[in-house]
Structure 1
Amino acid sequence: MKALRITVYGYVQGVGFRSFARRHALALRINGFVRNMPDGSVQIVAEGDEKSLDEFLKLVSRGPFMARVDRVETEEVPVSGYGGFRIEF
Structure 2
Amino acid sequence: MGRVCLHGFVSGRVQGVYYRQSTEQQAERLGVDGWVRNLADGRVEVLLEGEEDAVRELERWLCDGPADAEVSAVDVQEVPAQGITGFIVRR
TM-score scaled by length of structure 2: 0.95
In the alignment, residue 8 of structure 1 is paired with which amino acid?
V
Unpaired segments ≥5 residues, structure 1: none
Deviation at 1:51, TM superposition (A): 0.6
Match of 2:75 in 1: 73
* Deviation of the 1:6 alpha carbon: 2.3
The size of the alignment, in residue pairs, is: 89
RMSD over equivalenced CA pairs, Å:
0.6
Match of 1:16 in 2: 18
Over 6 Å off, 4+ runs: none
Give deviations 1:54-75, integer Å, cap 9, x for gaps: 1101111101011100001011
Counterpart CA distance in 1 for 2:52 and 2:34 is 15
Structure 1 counterpart of 2:6: 4
Q: Among residues 34, 53, 75, which one is paired with 1:32 in the alignment? A: 34
Q: Equivalent pairs: percent with the same residue? A: 36
Secondary structure of the residue aligned to 1:65 is coil
Counterpart residue identity of residue 39, structure 2 = M
What secondary structure is seen at the aligned counterpart in 1 of 2:21? helix
TM-score, length-scaled by structure 1: 0.97
Specify the code of the residue in structure 2 equivalent to 1:33: W
Q: Distance in 1 between matches of 2:74 and 2:67?
A: 17
Q: C-alpha distance in 1, partners of 2:41/2:13?
A: 11
Query: Counterpart of 1:85?
Result: 87
